[in-house]
Every structure is written in C-alpha cells, then in structure tokens.
Amino acid sequence: MAPANPPVAPKVAPASQPSGATGVLVLADGTILWGIGYGATGAGVGEICFNTAMTGYQEILTDPSYAGQIITFTFPHIGNVGANPEDMERDKRAAIGCITRELPTQPSNFRSVQTLPDWMADQGLIGLAGIDTRALTRRIRDAGAPNGVVAHNPDGKFDIDELLGQARGWSGLEGLDLAKEVSRTDTGDWTGGAWKLGHGYAGAGGGERPHVVAIDYGAKDNIFRNLVAAGARVTVVPATATLDEVLGHQPDGVFLSNGPGDPAATGDYAVPVIRGLLDRDVPIFGICLGHQMLGIAAGAKTVKMHQGHRGANHPVQRVGGDFADGVVEITSMNHGFAVDAATLPAGVVETHKSLFDGSNCGIAITGKKAFSVQYHPEASPGPQDSFYLFEKFVGGLK
C-alpha cells in the first residue's frame, strides 16, 4: 500500500532533446526521458512498472496481466537470446512496450528465430533504450507507479505537449476492467502439455482425467500446460462465462486464471459466478487475479499496491491452513493489486505471505476445496518451486 504522503520524485533526466534521440518516455508529472527507440513505432499510454527478472522477457511481454502497462526491465541486457514462437505466453502482446538500459544486441542462442526488435515490431510493442533504469526504478519505488507515454519515431520528431496530455489524461488502472479485453472469447479444449528441450510441447495425454474448467481472465498458456501435466483435462472458457455455462461443462474443478486491471472492476461479473461455485462446493484453484477474485467472493477487499510485485525472485512463506509448515518458496510475481489480509473474514485462512512486505499471497476457505495464491506457480519465467500446487489441485479431484 502507498504511504500516506508519498514523496515527489525528482526529475531523472533533462527535458531537452539530445541529438540522435528517436524515443521518449513522458510521465504524467512532467518528467521527460530521452533515448533510442526500437521495435514498433508510434506512442502508447499506460502505467510504468518495473520487473526484476533476469530472463524470460518474451514471456513477460506476452503475459496478458501486463495489459495497460509499460515494463521497465531492471536487468540491463534484454534481448540477448532473441525471440522464438515457443516462448510466447499468448498469441499476441498485451503490454504497451518496454524500457531497457541497453539496446538489444544480436541474439546468441540456437533457439532464436528473430531479433527482439524485429519481433517487437511485429507484435506492436514499443521499445525505448538508453534510459537510466536504476533511477526510473527508484522513482517508482519512492513515489509509486506513474502513468506515462512511451513513443518511438525514427525521425526523432515528437509533440511533447500532446504526449504529456495523453499521460495526464489516462485514467490509470484503478477501476479499470481489462480482463474482457485480453480473455479468449470462445470456449475450447486445451491440448498442449509441458515443454521439454528437443521435444517441444507434450500432448494432452489419454485415459480418464479429472475435468478442469479454466476461466480465462487473461491467462498465460503455461498455466494450462501445467494443469495438463498434473493430469487434468482442461476446457477454457471466457472471463464472462456465466455460472450456468461453467456448470454446463460438468467440471470436477474450476481454475481461476491471472489477468490485468482492477480486481474490483472485474469482480462485478466474476464474483457472482465464483460464489455460485462455492455454494455448490465445486473445488476451486485461483492464481493472481483469480486469487483476488476468490478473496472478494469470500468477503475480503483488494487494494492498489504502491509499486506492485513483478519479478522472478519473490520469497513467499507458507504460514497457514494446509500450508502451515513455514517453508519458503521463491516465486514469480506480476501484480499491482493485492488482497487486504486485514479484511479476511472468519472462515478464510491466510496460507501464504510475502517476505518482502508481508502482503497476502494465499488464502484457503475453511470447509471448502477452494484455495488460491497471488503469485504465478507456472513460472514462465521463474523458479519451479510452486509446481506442486497444480498437482495438489488436480490430485484432489481424482
């Protein structure tokens, strides 16, 4: 949560345009950062956040949870391994663009089929290099995630007043439902399993498997692969699927996916469905936005975080319920909202807690087969400490 009176961050770069600048970041407070543009041309408005992961930039840029956001990578060397079709987490980008310290170099990896700038151009992602990402990250940590516009023009011509107006005129993520924009719009069976070097993605497997209906609020594909790898048959439905539509598939369990935007806004249509599932004792497993949806359905509230959690090295401790063994998991995270642990009602147990700031990272509902975590157990990118959660969920359905 933000401090009561967050400090006003100083400007982190001069406003005058240096020679050769082909890209710019304009923040709503008037800060102007000049650099070298790459990837797609044009301008995009969003919330400026930062991600501390050292690998997996392609997975991050195609994670639908980043809709409406411009990602600052704290690791200086982004783009070294190029891009390839297998590392996409969705078939199209959701993020607005990214900010890096260095221009991407020529890729050095046998799996690369495209340079990062070329891939970003195809995806409509705007890149900006030459920025002091340490200073920008400290600005976000001190004063919170600002709204801004990232722009790239090879001619170096920018209307700064217009870009500043866009940054100041954008509503921000609070109150914004973005799940509808990134969710699949049709229903279908998921067939791909886990990926293995030299083999690609496994098939869905045969035999009798428990049936999981996954509600897609903006899911990463590796979530579905992990459900399959854990032994499930998976049917994916849109974020706006009704209770009758979900139950019509006769699920053994329901999965609530990650996604972007304000959980309170998405909850207008998602929470009644989840409450209906809880009333019928349908087993539920949620992550990220799905965790927040389960929390709201159980009676808790969510809050906008000061800077959010985004990275692949976040320590989370298991503290309650079936998870009260004190074990620490290193997790992958991407969220700017959180369940407020102080609002958890009776019958809802806090199961996981962040060791960075103490924020809630997991809940379980007493007397129900319903639990959720704030982080991303499917990784992509990130450690594999939490794969067991898929096995716990699917194993409990057999």
Catalytic positions, written as ranges: 288, 376, 378
Gyration radius from the chain CA atoms: 21
Assess contact for 231 and 223: CB atoms under 8 A.
no
- Residue 360 burial by Cβ neighbours in a 10 Å radius (0-12, 13-18, 19+): buried
How many angstroms separate the most distant Cα atoms in the chain? 65
